[in-house]
């Protein structure tokens, strides 16, 4: 009862484990800056082929500043700049922009570009490529589109490894999408090496540092709580993988939400602890919004679960660093 004689309900206690690292990675941060700088340099509208990153909140913010998101270059006038998304594009898209003499800026994550370069190098050495990735994902489409049709065979699962029929089983190399489950990918690579002993892979894992770090934090967090929320978009590959990793690591409840309004409070009614992380394209605003929502309902203690410190930064292209 407070000093006015009114009954004051006590909030239940909650331990909120906050993963670190979480949220934006260097590639996402760079891509968003590129759109903002392009609008500053050339004025609105600036066209962006595909969502610059897979997050509705980010896309809507950039749209409000003057970005127009398209899926086909035919929807972009030739006299306006166009930016290619962080996921990368097939070579045919770049050729179309060149043929139309468009100003185009490539916001492909440098770690995705590294995979593109690997594919090109192996192709130059007469090796056919096996790509471990998700069919239809823009990164997979962009990477496979670096080489002529038929030069890249896609596998999504261990069982897919038994189905592919390469030209020459002794002239194979594998590459991977950068946002996969680390553990699932290791299983697929093991299956590939078993069926094709002479297959070669990258010197260093293609799965990016941010994907690996966020999955590691989820595994550690799952030793402290069996309930987890992942902030991210439904079409975000790395965010969906975080949910899967949490469930595989022993969480009884792991759910993907885009923001606080999507929290299922009924499903969480009996919890005393929860883990919170965010995919690589989820901004701090959404993370803070979810934490605030828990503090409204619970007497919340936040504990950081830090498994790595990230200080990587990717520079924007020279054309956006030099304003005329």
Question: Which residues are catalytic, by number?
Answer: 139
Residue-by-residue DSSP string for 9-67 = PPPPEEEEEEEES-S--HHHHHHHHHHHHHHHHH-S-EEEES-SSS-HHHHHHHHHHTE
Distance CA 18, CA 305 (A): 6
Distance CA 215, CA 237 (A): 12
Spatial contact of 297 and 13, defined as CB atoms under 8 Å apart: no
Token couple for 300: 């919340």
Q: Which residue has the tokens 């990587």?
A: 312
Spatial contact of 247 and 226, defined as CB atoms under 8 Å apart: no
**Buried residues in 267-300 as b, exposed as e (16+ CB within 10 A):** ebeebebbbbbbbbbbbeebbeebbebbeeebeb
Q: Residue 284: CB partners within 8 Å, gap ≥ 6?
A: 23, 24
Residue-by-residue DSSP string for 278-321 = E-TT--HHHHHHHHHHHHHHSEEEEEEEE--------PPPHHHH
Q: Residue 68: CB partners within 8 Å, gap ≥ 6?
A: 45, 46, 47, 48, 76
Spatial contact of 239 and 232, defined as CB atoms under 8 Å apart: yes
Distance CA 153, CA 321 (A): 38
């Amino acid at each position: 009862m407070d000093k006015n004689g009114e009954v004051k309900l006590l909030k239940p206690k909650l331990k909120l484990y906050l993963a670190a690292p979480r949220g934006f990675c260097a590639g996402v941060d760079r891509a968003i800056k590129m759109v903002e700088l392009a609008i500053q340099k050339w004025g609105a509208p600036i066209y962006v082929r595909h969502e610059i990153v897979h997050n509705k909140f980010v896309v809507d913010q950039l749209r409000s500043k003057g970005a127009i998101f398209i899926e086909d270059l035919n929807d972009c006038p030739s006299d306006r700049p166009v930016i290619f998304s962080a996921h990368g594009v097939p070579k045919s898209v770049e050729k179309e922009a060149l043929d139309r003499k468009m100003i185009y800026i490539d916001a492909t994550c440098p770690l995705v570009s590294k995979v593109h370069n690997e594919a090109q190098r192996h192709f130059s050495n007469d090796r056919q490529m096996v790509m471990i990735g998700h069919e239809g994902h823009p990164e997979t489409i962009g990477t496979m589109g670096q080489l002529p049709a038929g030069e890249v065979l896609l596998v999504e699962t261990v069982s897919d490894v038994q189905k592919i029929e390469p030209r020459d089983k002794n002239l194979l190399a594998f590459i991977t999408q950068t946002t996969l489950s680390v553990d699932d990918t290791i299983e697929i690579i093991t299956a590939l090496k078993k069926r094709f002993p002479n297959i070669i892979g990258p010197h260093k894992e293609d799965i990016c540092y941010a994907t690996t770090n966020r999955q590691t934090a989820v595994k550690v967090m799952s030793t402290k709580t069996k309930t987890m929320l992942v902030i991210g978009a439904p079409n975000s590959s790395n965010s969906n993988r975080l949910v899967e990793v949490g469930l595989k690591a022993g969480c009884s409840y792991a759910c993907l939400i885009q923001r606080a309004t999507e929290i299922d409070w009924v499903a969480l009614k009996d919890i005393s602890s929860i883990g919170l992380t965010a995919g690589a394209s989820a901004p701090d605003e959404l993370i803070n919004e979810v934490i605030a929502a828990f503090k409204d309902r619970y007497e919340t203690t936040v504990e950081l679960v830090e498994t790595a410190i990230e200080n990587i930064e990717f520079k924007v292209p020279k054309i956006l660093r030099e304003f005329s």
